[in-house]
């Protein structure tokens, strides 16, 4: 797999997105609203039981990602540029990796704004290392974007694809989201260090690797029309 080709695609998408900011603005607005709603509805309960916090935070990412990540391919399809992309000698793995990096950039953008916002609005008492918490979130989002980028192409030719995508994505994402929430909780609330959450990190990493391999093996088929 050629890294040059991968970054060429990712930087093309990031550049186009930064110019219009259609997707990122929409995702930020949505995730901000979700934090405000959760804070107003569940803020007091989270103060009493901070273990709820990590789960709520992940729900925000999950719903925001559901709405925004599919755009990476849907946009190409709607603009008719998807064929142009498939006509290039880029391999399907390179296309998937480029799109996944673009999606990861989106999620990291959301994460770096929503995570602090979340801490502020919930007045969240952080016991462990903020850097480690951020790292665990990033790792979770990495798995998230790999699977959502790969599966979002499956619904391109389906009816009601916006409704369909969450329904097929959520069950596949379930194990990695649950593990990420557990790891985040142990850092934020339990104040535990890297070595204590190694079990969770291994599972998230293994998930990312296995899903990447499946994605690489099947993406040729997913790209076909």
Binding span for another protein by CB under 8 A among 54-62, 111-119, 131-139, 173-181? 173-181
Q: Binding of another protein at residue 4 (CB under 8 A)?
A: yes
Q: Which of 27, 173, 184, 187 binds another protein (CB under 8 A)?
A: 173
Residue with the two structure tokens 């995570």: 115
Q: Binding of another protein at residue 105 (CB under 8 A)?
A: no
Q: What distance in Å separates the CA atoms of residue 175 and residue 155, rounded to the nearest whole number? A: 22
Q: Which of 47, 164, 201, 216 binds another protein (CB under 8 A)?
A: 164
Q: Binding of another protein at residue 195 (CB under 8 A)?
A: no
Q: Binding of another protein at residue 25 (CB under 8 A)?
A: no
Q: Which of 167, 191, 193, 205 binds another protein (CB under 8 A)?
A: 167
For another protein, the closer CB: 125 or 199: 199
Of 191, 192, 56, 179, give the one whose Cα is nearest residue 121: 56
Residues in region 143-162 near another protein by CB under 8 A = 147, 150-151, 154-155, 157-161
Q: Binding of another protein at residue 15 (CB under 8 A)?
A: yes
Is the separation of the CB atoms in 191 and 128 below 8 Å? yes
- Shortest spacing between CB 171 and another protein, in angstroms: 4
Mark residues 62-101: x for contact with another protein by CB under 8 A, - for none: -----------------xxx-xxxxxxxxx----------
Could you give the angle at the alpha carbon of 211 between the alpha carbons of 165 and 137, nearest 5°?
80
Binding span for another protein by CB under 8 A among 4-12, 31-39, 44-52, 134-142? 4-12
Residues that bind another protein in the complex, under the rule CB under 8 A: 4-5, 8-9, 12, 15-16, 19-20, 79-81, 83-91, 147, 150-151, 154-155, 157-161, 164, 167-176, 178-179, 182, 199-200, 203, 206-207, 210-211, 214, 218, 221-222, 224-225
């Amino acid at each position: 797999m050629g890294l040059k080709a991968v970054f060429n695609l990712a930087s093309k998408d990031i550049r186009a997105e930064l110019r219009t900011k259609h997707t990122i603005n929409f995702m930020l607005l949505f995730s901000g609203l979700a934090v405000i709603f959760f804070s107003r509805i569940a803020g007091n309960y989270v103060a009493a039981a901070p273990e709820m916090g990590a789960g709520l935070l992940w729900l925000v990412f999950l719903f925001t990602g559901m709405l925004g990540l599919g755009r990476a391919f849907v946009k190409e399809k709607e603009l008719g540029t998807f064929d142009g992309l498939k006509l290039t000698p880029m391999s399907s793995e390179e296309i998937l990796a480029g799109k996944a990096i673009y999606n990861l950039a989106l999620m990291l953008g959301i994460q770096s704004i929503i995570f602090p916002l979340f801490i502020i609005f919930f007045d969240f008492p952080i016991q462990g290392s903020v850097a480690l918490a951020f790292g665990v979130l990033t790792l979770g989002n990495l798995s998230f974007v790999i699977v959502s980028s790969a599966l979002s192409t499956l619904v391109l030719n389906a009816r009601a694809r916006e409704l369909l995508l969450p329904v097929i994505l959520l069950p596949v994402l379930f194990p990695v989201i649950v593990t990420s929430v557990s790891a985040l909780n142990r850092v934020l609330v339990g104040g535990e260090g890297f070595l204590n959450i190694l079990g969770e990190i291994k599972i998230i990493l293994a998930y990312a690797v296995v899903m990447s391999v499946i994605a690489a093996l099947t993406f040729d088929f997913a790209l076909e029309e």
